[in-house]
Structure 1
Amino acid sequence: MGLVFSALIFFLFGVLFIGRILHPSFPQNHLLHYAGDSKFNIEGLIDRPPDPLEDKVRLYVRAEKIHFQGSQFPVTGNLLLTVKDKKVDLRYGDRVRFISRIYVPRPATNPGAFDYRRFLALQGIWVTAYANSAEEVLRLEEKQGNTFFHFVEGGRERIRKFIDETASPKAGGVIKALVLGERGDISREVNERFIISGVNHILSISGLHVALVAGFFFGATRFILRFFPFLLLRLNLNKTSALVAVVPVIFYLFIAGAGVAAVRSTIMVLSFLLALLLDREKDLYDALFVAAFFILIFNPAALFDMSFQLSFFAVAALLYFIPLFTEYFSFLKTWPYKSWLEEQPPWRRKMLFYLAGTLLTSTAAILGTGPLAAYYFNRISLVGFLSNLLLVPLMGFAGTLLSLLTAVLVFLSPPLANILTGLNSFILEISLTLVDLFSRIPMASRRVVTPTIPEVILIYGILVLAANLKRWKRSLPALILLGAVYGGIQIHEYIFTYYNPNLKVTFLDVGQGDAAVIQIPRGKVMVIDGGGTHDGSFDPGERIVAPYLWREKRKAVDYLVNSHPHPDHLQGLLFLLDNFKVEKVWDNGERGEEFPLVQALLEKSGGRLQTMGRGEGSREIEGVKVEFLHPPSEKEKALPFWGNDASLVLRLTYGEVSFLFCGDLEAMGEKEILKAAGNLESTVIKVPHHGSKSSSTQPFLEAVRPRYAVFTVRGGARPPLPNPAVLERYEAMGTKVLRTDRDGAITFVTDGKKLKVQPYLGKTPSLE
């Protein structure tokens, strides 16, 4: 009960302060008031170490002035400046100037999507800016700010340069991640292999790394002190070792850049070392909650940060589950198992105990973080138990310690540091090979639907009760009860999903692109387009469409439709093909070398791909009529269309309600549909080509006469969309306008007669 009470106190403490953090009052000169279409010449100080990524660098700037039309104005506020250039020679303490618009990060605009505004707000950042190259950011002064942090950054820069010069590219990227906390040299492909293998946590400095460093120096100090009996008579072995371990832990914190996660991990480890110094080593739960208390005192919002939650639950699981696990294996202390163990050579006994301890530790940590990982990442690694058994010692322990010792020797003995780097590179190359092997195991990782908060709580309750079957007499009935409740929820969700008589259409906000999810009565799912970016830097399929489907408890897509092969429509569908069970794939049949994504679609779709168009006939899917209105199929032998005008146009009709999906159709394609089709009237239209002036001609709108028009647009687009004349055209007809840049995801639910509209943001339009 004490643990539950403490957890409740922390939760209430976080809730008390989260509102003030997410909704503060801003001074009149805050950068937030300058956000908009105007560009400003901004001056400020880089007050954190730059964050290098694979193809860009993020700079955390504390704004000081804005230069505008010959005048300068003092401003306040932190700003995240993203420089789309890897070669940025800027560091902590540089005063810089740059010209950019000031953007307000958008909140989560889709169900299940990542809330970027909230993520930055928890770091005290409310606006962002962008520069296309390093030359656009001018350094005015150097070495401003805290002198000690300049000293630390100088050391980090020296370590970084040494790693670049001596380590292999692959190993060097991992060494930087382990010792400097920088993951920019680790490619997306390698990072994905770590995720699939269940060892991605090794690449992020966390409580694991800090605890391993503390444990190594604690053990090394104990070992060394045993050779000095006169010191043992004067010193307490455990307390002295704990005190010595504090030094490398703090050194590691600063070498790692003193990031938020590293600071939290250090506080947790220091609290456990303090427990040893105060003779409270048996009160480890108290040490854990003391660490949480100090973290939340300085940063109450950390309670709602997933990295804090994962770290806290991992440590709590180790403290809670490992003693329980050892009880289940207490039979090993009895005959004949004890006799067998005693007969083994000492090295073999140590190896067996090490393997058992590592396996139990990995199991406890995975059980403690698994439900949260499913909630946040929709992924469970099935090889994680085995991969952690090998890779935590190799990379987490040996790799981290060698990297840290190398960092020290860079200043003391570069030749010796070079030798350690070679050894470390060898170990890490082996580790990377193992990661690659684990990631290639069939079913190494499973994608899972998003559990609800009650489901997560039930899973943790089931794990706790299952672990206490030997301790608590009433744990079995309680376990059966919780299992029954959880099973009942799954049955209810299954019935609601696969026996639902309603048609649900959701237009997702993927920026300047299209993505619509249609949940057809009785469980069928159709996805029309998946959004995308022209440079491939952001994948809406992975970040928006898939999370929405998982939130809706969907692991399969029955019909995957690509209106035309432009990146802002096709790119996101490729992720769905890789991570969902897809039955059929429809496209408009357009091919060509100018569409590089088409080749990927062909390879991933295989025999499931079918070209559709007018002349293919309609389909009836669980009472929903699907008509193909454009482009003309080869059967019709009509003039060919290409580009936007070749978009696959579908109309879905359910009872008295119909939806018209127009892709990026332009005037020529609209004219062809008017010539060939009969009645085009539709309740809802997905506005052609995002509301550009080349589409939505007056004759076409008069034929469709929609009650609702959905514009899939991105705020701040150049040229601005929707085009004002097009917008006025719809409004003049009395059509209710909905926009993804303003309303977020837009959901329509109908039983074939009534129609309910649910914008994710804003208010629901009045219904006729």
Structure 2
Amino acid sequence: MGLPALLLALALGLACAPYLQTPPPWFVPPLLALTWYLARRRPLSLLLLSALLWTLGASLYHLHLDPPSGTGHVRAFINPEKLTLQARVLRISQRPGERWSADLEADRVIFDGIAAPVRGRIRLYVDTGPRHASPGDVVRLRTRLRAPRLFGTPGEFDFPRHLARQGIFATAFVPTGEEVVSLGPAPDGGFGLKLERQRSEIGAFIARSVNPGTAPLVKALVLGDKGGISPAQRDLLARAGLSHLFAISGLHLGLIALLLYVTARALYRRSTGLLLRWPPGRVLPALLAPALLAYLLLSGGALATRRAFLMGLAGALLLLWSRRTPPVKMLAATAFGFLLLDPLALFEPAWQLSFAGVLGILSLLPRWRLWTAPLPSPLRPPLLLFMSTAAATVATAPIVLWHFHMAAPAGLLSNLAAVPAVGFAAVPIGLAGALLLPWWPDGAAALFRGCALTIDAVLAAAERIVNLPGLGGWVHYPSPGETAALLLLTGALLMPSPGPRGWPARWMLSLAAAILLWPGGQSDALRVTALGVGQGDAFLLSHGGQTHYLVDGGGLYSDTFDVGQRLVAPALGRSGIHALKAVVLTHDHPDHRKGFIHILEHFPVGEFWSPLPVSDLHPSLQYALADRKIPARCLPPGWTTLERTDLTTNAIFVPEQSGKDLNDRSLVVYCRKGADGVLLTGDLETKGVAQLLGAPPPGPVTLLKLPHHGSRGSSPQLLVKRFSPDLAFVSVGAGNPHGLPHRTVVDYLRQRRVPLHRTDQDGSLRFTTEGKGWKAEHWVRGLFR
């Protein structure tokens, strides 16, 4: 069995692990290993080895994901109450605006007047204010410890897993940096902390020396800290296909290695003795490895940079020993070793993009470069750069679309100018500034400003390119089937054996992709999906799998997290929904409205329904509706029947709109399928509920959404008593400060024996009926179950 096949078995075990309820028993991998060893010379050994690696991958996933146990770990102090935390600062990262975050190594906590030593890492978020601490300092603060958790929505980024890979299993927050008190440097700071302190000082110097708008981009190129890049800059880089240039990667390491090699070779050739003793191409790569390691450490040690360094180091050693190996085999060996030591890296977009991009270049560029042989020499370098970009783009397209939902055709052109400008100008100038800073700060500042000018020129050129017709890029949220089909087509392109022997396999992969893209059979079911969006509402009504309505879009009161972009849109894409017949706003509160903006901007929407005229809506909604030319429909008070047949009913109830309380003016949606009906009640309070009871829906209510997140003031007991639903559900945020749903409401439902489904406990909820009873499912371990 070849190394790529072994890598595939290990990766599949890791990829399947999130969907398993429990990891394989601890004794299974050793037992499989022993069985394989005893049967290694028999045909069954290949199957046993594959099973061993699959099981090993699944076991490693849970081993690294599960938090440490024991009272000595900081997770034991996760509590709604505040405590005093003393910790050592490991790393500080800037975020857009004045926000910043820090990774802390906990030392002790003081809770209820008792001090206890603890261990474990914490991610601290600071909303605003100055930083009085540096990496290596001991700090003290008052805060609450929280466990990282998911909203429980299809398509959301798994942030707890991202933190677990860094050994972080608890988070904390303080509103201002003034609350983080520095007690001075830790007495036992090692090399890592000293390096982080140096990186922090370089970052602070860049912030003082460079235009505030460009400083985060300079820090991204020099230090690998891209946290301060603004959303507008990220959007431009994504549409221009240049995001990879401002995330330290193998490209940067390769360009630095090329510059160092050219310079070192010129000096090496001055010595006849060295040339006669050792060829420069054999010994220089190994001699340059320490310099590249220093760059790796200075730039933050990103996954892609580590991949490039390990492959470069392996290549240098092979050259030194006069050995040769296929590059694809070296790539597979690097990936295999990576996953054994850092299994959760498989799920990081940077890891996937790095290996896929190199695989695309290694697979496609040797074939394509044959076409450049007849061309004049001056045309070959830019054409090879274009081909390299195209090869990497082809290989990474499914991954980019899956994680970032962006197609950027402008990247094929913008990289022609941006790669040389960034790789041979901005990065070397910025690194020179970092090296010069301890001895000549004024000279370093001038170099950092030169780096910033280069970046400004690159961004200006990128903006002109994306404004060209057809190159602006587009947003698409793919379904799993679409992504799988795209992966199969990409695999067909990357397959070796370009001759006739490879065509049957290519046709098989293409046929499988076509089957995945073939429209599925239609269903007559009514489906209600309550998306887990925290303390807000976002519901998806689907009729027959073809017609979809989005009722409210969720939204947080904070402006730093776009619920529409981060939760609702990915959930629609994962559900295979790319167009909405209508979006329905029950009332204009932020936790129902804010998520709509991204949906209106990036999804085809037939109509917008609301109890309010457009002129009374929030300006952001008015702008989005006008910009996309979406028809808006203001529904009158009372019931409006949208569709009615013997089997189905779709209707909307609008209370009187003369009151001051927007909650009591919430629009109500009713849908019926056969003997089952669902009632979505918005945020109605007592007066609104009374109006609804005075004009009940035109059919049975067997599924009830509790009004106003299950608050006591919304009188949900009256609705339950009147309609006697089979099921009830509520959309609430985990640990919300309002204590919703209220205990009296939960107790009443329990007394009435009405099952209550909650997004804070169960994640996204899905209810399906064909008119003969509801089937309830929760989003658990990556699937509705």
Give TM-score scaled by structure 1 length: 0.90
1:506 and 1:516 in contact (8 A); partners too: yes
* Aligned-partner residue type, residue 420 of structure 2: P
Pair 581,35 (structure 1): closer, same or farther in 2 beyond 3 Å: same
Q: Structure 1 residues 606 and 375, CA, compared in 2 at 3 Å: closer, same or farther?
A: closer
| 2:662 alignment partner in structure 1 | 643
Cα pair 2:601 2:624 within 8 Å, conserved? no
- Deviation string 1:72-117 (CA, Å, 9 cap, x unpaired) is 1122222111111253232211212222222111136122222222
C-alpha displacement of 1:24: 5.2
Alpha-carbon spacing, 1:32–1:416, altered in 2? closer, same or farther (3 Å): closer
Q: Does 1:57 align with 2:100?
A: yes
Aligned to 1:656, which of 667, 670, 675?
Answer: 675
Cα deviation, 1:259-291, whole Å, max 9, x if unaligned, reads: 555444433333333333333465433443443
CA shift at 1:654, angstroms?
1.7
1:683 aligns with 2:702: yes
- Choose from 629, 633, 646 the match for 2:653: 629
Q: Percent identity?
A: 28
Is residue 511 of structure 1 aligned with residue 534 of structure 2? yes
The answer to whether the aligner puts 1:2 opposite 2:9 as a matched pair is no
Q: Determine if contact 2:536/2:555 at 8 Å carries over to the other structure.
A: yes
Q: Does 1:574 align with 2:593?
A: no
Aligned to 2:766: 747
Count of matched residue pairs: 740
Query: Which among 437, 448, 453 is matched to residue 476 of structure 2?
Result: 448
Q: Is the 8 A contact 1:53 1:86 kept in 2?
A: no
Quote the residue 1:495 is aligned against. Answer: 520
Q: Aligned letter for 2:534?
A: G
Shift of 1:14: 3.4
Corresponding letter in the other structure for 2:664: D
Q: Which amino acid aligns with 1:450?
A: P
Code of the aligned partner of 1:251: A
The question of 1:368 aligning with 2:395 is answered yes
Tell me the equivalent position of 1:208: 251
Contact 1:275–1:283 (CA<8 Å) still a contact in 2? no
Q: CA deviation at 1:313?
A: 1.6
Distance 2:744 2:614 in 1: 33
Match of 2:18 in 1: none
- CA deviations over 1:554-608 (Å, ceiling 9, x no partner): 2111111111111110111110111111111111216788945444454345451
Alignment pair present for 1:167 and 2:210 = yes
Give, in angstroms, the shift of residue 53 of structure 1.
Answer: 4.6
**Alignment partner, residue 289 of structure 2:** 246
Q: Which of 208, 211, 219 is the aligned partner of 2:262?
A: 219
Pairwise CA distance, 1:360: 1.2
Q: Hey, what's the Cα distance between the residues in 1 that align with 2:476 and 2:408? A: 10
> What pairs with 1:323-722 in structure 2 (closer than 5 Å)?
323-327=366-370, 329=371, 333=373, 337=374, 341=376, 349-350=377-378, 352-441=379-468, 443=470, 444-452=472-480, 459-466=486-493, 471-491=498-518, 494-496=519-521, 499-521=522-544, 523-589=546-612, 595-604=618-627, 606-615=629-638, 617-620=640-643, 624-632=648-656, 639-640=658-659, 642-677=661-696, 681-722=700-741
Distance 2:513 2:782 in 1: 34
| 8 Å contact kept, 2:730–2:758 | yes
Deviating more after overlay: 55-64 vs 742-751: 55-64
Q: Secondary structure at the match of 1:27?
A: coil
Alignment of 1:258-297 (within 5 A): 258-259=301-302, 262-280=305-323, 283-297=326-340
Rounded to whole Å, the distance in 1 between the matches of 2:639 and 2:269 is 84
Distance in 1 of aligned mates of 2:781 and 2:304: 35
Distance 1:765 1:525 in 2: 18
Q: Which amino acid aligns with 2:520?
A: I
1:346 corresponds to which residue?
A: none
SS of alignment partner, residue 251 of structure 1: helix
Q: Is 2:355 aligned against 1:312?
A: yes
Q: 3-state DSSP class of the match of 1:689?
A: helix
Secondary structure at 2:437's aligned position in 1? Answer: helix
CA contact (8 A) 1:47 1:93 kept: yes
Deviations 1:491-531 (A, max 9, x none): 1xx233xx222111100110000001112115111101111
Across the aligned residues of Structure 1 and Structure 2, the Cα RMSD in angstroms comes to 2.9
Indicate the SS of the match to 2:265: helix
Contact 1:560 1:584 in 2 (8 A): yes
Q: Is the 8 A contact 1:177 1:204 kept in 2?
A: yes
Q: For the residues of structure 2 that align with 1:678 and 1:535, how far apart are their CA atoms?
A: 35
Change beyond 3 A, Cα 1:272–1:143? farther
CA contact (8 A) 1:221 1:244 kept: no
Residues 17-68 of structure 1: CA deviation (Å, up to 9, x unaligned): 1121123551232222222322221222223344545442221112221112
Residues 161 and 118 of structure 1, relative CA distance in 2, 3 Å threshold: closer
- What SS does the aligned partner of 1:748 have? strand
Task: Check if 1:28 corresponds to 2:71.
Answer: yes
Residue 81 of structure 2 aligns with which residue? 38
Partner Cα distance (2:100, 2:421) in 1 = 30
Residue 755 of structure 1 and its aligned partner are, at CA, apart by 1.8
Distance 2:727 2:520 in 1: 30
Contact 1:271 1:291 in 2 (8 A): no
Q: How far apart in 1 are the matches of 2:401 and 2:534?
A: 26
**CA separation in 1, counterparts of 2:453 and 2:250?**
25
Cα distance in 1 for residues equivalent to 2:204 and 2:445: 12
CA gap of 1:76–1:762, structure 2 versus 1, over 3 A, is same
Where do 5+ consecutive residues of structure 2 fail to align? 12-52
Q: Distance in 2 between matches of 1:112 and 1:690?
A: 24
What is the distance in 1 between the residues matched to 2:753 and 2:735? 26
Cα offsets for 1:640-688 (capped at 9, x unmatched): 5541111111111122111111111111111222234465741111111
Letter in 1 for 2:474: R
CA offset at residue 441 of structure 1? Answer: 4.1
Structure 1 residue 412, shift from structure 2 partner: 3.9
The reply to whether residue 70 of structure 1 matches residue 113 of structure 2 is yes
Larger deviation: 106-115 or 133-142? 106-115
Deviation at 1:621, TM superposition (A): 8.0
d(CA) in 2 for partners of 1:525 and 1:369?
31
Distance 1:710 1:380, change over 3 A: same
Structure 2 SS opposite 1:674: helix
Amino acid at match of 1:563: T
Aligned match for 1:736, one of 755, 759, 778: 755
For the Cα contact (< 8 Å) 1:588–1:613, is it kept in 2?
yes
Pair 684,397 (structure 1): closer, same or farther in 2 beyond 3 Å? farther
In structure 2, the residue matched to 1:636 is none
CA distance in 1, matches of 2:400, 2:733: 31
Per-residue displacement from partner, 1:330-357 (whole Å, max 9, x unpaired)?
A: xx54xxx46xx3xxxxxxx33x111111
CA distance in 1, matches of 2:738, 2:765: 23
SS in 1 for 2:725: coil
In 2: Cα distance, 1:293 partner to 1:676 partner: 65
Letter in 1 for 2:391: A
Matched position secondary structure for 1:618 = strand
Assess, with a 3 A threshold, how the Cα gap between structure 1 residues 605 and 446 changes in structure 2: closer, same or farther: closer
Deviates more, 1:404-413 or 1:552-561: 404-413
CA distance in 1 between counterparts of 2:605 and 2:784 reads 34
1:39 partner amino acid: K
Q: Deviations over 1:369-425 (max 9, x none)?
A: 112222222322122212222222222442212211221122344444344334322
